[in-house]
Amino acid sequence: MEGGIHGGADKSAFRECFSLTWKNPYVLRLAFSAGIGGLLFGYDTGVISGALLYIKEDFKTVDRETWLQEMIVSMAVAGAIVGAAIGGWANDKFGRRSAILMADFLFLIGAIIMAVAPNPSLIVVGRVFVGLGVGMASMTAPLYISEASPAKIRGALVSTNGFLITGGQFVSYLINLAFTDVKGTWRWMLGIAGVPALLQFILMFTLPESPRWLYRKGREEEAKAIMRRIYSAEDVEHEIRALKDSVESEIFEEGSSEKINITKLCKTKTVRRGLIAGVGLQVFQQFVGINTVMYYSPTIFQLAGFASNRTAILLSLVTAGLNAFGSIISIYLIDRTGRKKLLIISLFGVIVSLGLLTGVFYEVTTHAPAISSLETQRFNNVTCPDYNSSLKAQTWDCMTCLKASSPSCGFCSSPSGKEHPGACWVSNDSVKDLCHNENRLWYTRGCPSNFGWFALLGLGLYIIFFSPGMGTVPWIVNSEIYPLRFRGICGGIAATANWISNLIVAQSFLSLTEAIGTSWTFLMFGVISVIALLFVVVCVPETKGMPMEEIEKMLEGRSLHFKFWKKRSQPVEKGNQTA
């Protein structure tokens, strides 16, 4: 096993993690208090998908302009890019705990602004503040947990942050569902986000700073006191010695404990190799399409043929629940199976799921109900103008109707059944009510289809495979793969890369579905997933069960490890080891 750790450690990690409840509840308290940052991250990711449906109803400009919908979603991501970048510096300068407190304050301000916003512009401003907080929390929470965790259960404890991310997403869909019939729907959905931020702000005042950061800053006695509360009596002295040796070695080799720049990061072999693996994982986590599912899942269900906002949100609750369940699986498997194996299994499943979704949306698009001339022209004042002026109106189907843009048009299903030829009418509230008054379904996003339930199956499989591996492992790897001296800045670089990738995906998804179609968009994510699988096999080392100081030694002499299923029998020796 890599790192020379005894083979039994990983088998008992899950059991030991939960035995902390009575053996050492202090460690569990640290993990869950810091992990509320993950809850904030998850809640914001999930809540906007439902809130956006009702923001569009209150502000017609948002409903008409796809770019404005993408702006409301992605400005939080843009803020998170800045927050993650600042977070790396703040972590090293002020400490992990202080960075979490700053993140909570920013998130609380953003939630208040969104809840009272009188126009879309202020919603965007609030989203930026929330994004700043989420960005800082996303890289600080796993780092704080990792540095305050015993090595053999570190993966499981950092996975609690992943569980709270997915738990936050699940809670956000419950909140979305609870407020669908309440006045001020989206204001409640977005404003409630301030509650967990306030809770974490209070809890973090009762917790200490990261012991490794304290030791790095010369506050050795404080660090030792905290480590004695974290580690067992037989392990604590060894951990203190290892930390002392690591810090002294860095200071000796670099001449200074404070001078860090990009040139130094690139020239340091262990850091460079760690950044390739860490940043690559964060980029691929987004480019395989996860946040198209989390930000836009109700919209995706509407594209698959589910007309009702409430139905779309309810179905999204299923995917959010599966996401939370997958993160629980990750807590169990991460220190048994290992990081790399879990990533590979995860990506195999993601590729298959995206193939299924590609097929489903191809069928939805090519089997759309036809437009009935009789139904469409039954009310002259509501007929879609583009349909009236078209020379090929007899070839129109539902998809053609929804692509009309001057003005936008909707599809009113047939009274004989939603798959039968229906009417293409102008899209506005009065026409929507006219359609509903005749007990017919009104579609503006996607068309009626018998394949809609297969979309739920495809998204469910995607989430089940993504969540335990690609959902949590990139954050775990980035919390443990860098040398202590560079951990804050490198974690910030990786988190920034994640949020930039997130921004690209969030800002382009709806535009891509309009430009090339939903099926081709999911096919594109599938191709990227194949590339991600090759990257993991070649570039990502296994760090299961290894003390942080040993990971640094392993990276220094690392070679490519294609046969990931085979364990290394040799312990890590500096200058003479492989991964």
Residue 449 near residue 422, CB atoms below 8 Å:
no
Cis bond leading into 120, ω under 30°? no
- The residue among 411, 407, 404, 406 whose CA lies nearest residue 368 is 411
Give the residue carrying structure tokens 């991964």.
Answer: 579
- 3-class DSSP string for 267-304: HCHHHHHHHHHHHHHHHHHHHCCHHHHHHHHHHHHHHC
Could you tell me if residue 37 is left (phi over 0), alpha (psi between -120 and 50 degrees) or otherwise beta?
A: alpha
State the pLDDT at residue 285.
92
Burial class (CB in 10 A: 0-12, 13-18, 19+), 573: exposed
State the pLDDT at residue 523.
92
Give the residue carrying structure tokens 């909140």.
Answer: 175
> Across 313-435, where does the E strand assignment appear?
409-412, 423-426
Residue 410 near residue 417, CB atoms below 8 Å:
no
**216/57 Cα distance (integer angstroms):** 53
State the pLDDT at residue 105.
93
- Phi/psi of residue 441, each to 5°? -90, 145
Q: Are strands 423-426 and 442-443 parallel, antiparallel or unpaired?
A: unpaired
Q: Are strands 423-426 and 409-412 parallel, antiparallel or unpaired?
A: antiparallel
The model's pTM = 0.67
SS3 state at 380: helix
Taking only the tens of pLDDT, the chain with its 579 residues reads 223 233 333 444 555 555 655 566 777 788 888 888 888 888 887 788 778 888 887 887 887 777 888 788 888 888 888 888 888 788 888 888 889 999 999 999 999 999 999 888 899 999 999 989 988 887 788 888 887 777 667 767 777 777 788 788 888 888 888 887 788 888 998 998 888 889 989 988 888 888 888 887 888 888 888 888 877 777 778 878 877 777 777 666 555 444 555 666 666 677 788 888 889 999 999 999 887 776 666 767 766 666 566 777 777 777 778 878 887 887 777 777 788 889 999 999 999 999 998 988 888 788 888 999 888 888 878 889 888 888 888 889 988 898 887 778 899 988 887 788 999 999 888 898 898 888 888 888 778 877 777 878 888 889 889 988 898 888 888 877 887 677 777 887 888 888 888 888 877 877 787 788 888 988 999 999 999 999 998 888 877 777 666 776 777 765 545 555 555 544 444 444 333
The CATH architecture of the domain made up of 265-368+449-557 is: Up-down Bundle (1.20)
State the pLDDT at residue 132.
92
CATH of domain 13-207: 1.20.1250.20
State the pLDDT at residue 126.
93
**467/326 Cα distance (integer angstroms):** 5
Strand order in the sheet with 442-443: 423-426, 409-412, 442-443
Identical fold between 13-207 and 265-368+449-557: yes
Residues paired with residue 443 on neighbouring β-strands, in sequence order: 411
**DSSP-H helix ranges across 24-95:** 25-58, 60-64, 66-94
Give the residue carrying structure tokens 């009274």.
Answer: 415
How is the chain split into domains, by residue range? 13-207, 208-257, 265-368+449-557, 369-447
State the pLDDT at residue 267.
66
Task: Determine what percent of the chain falls in helix, strand and coil, rounding each to the nearest 5.
Answer: 75, 5, 20
Q: Which two tokens stand for residue 124?
A: 């965007």
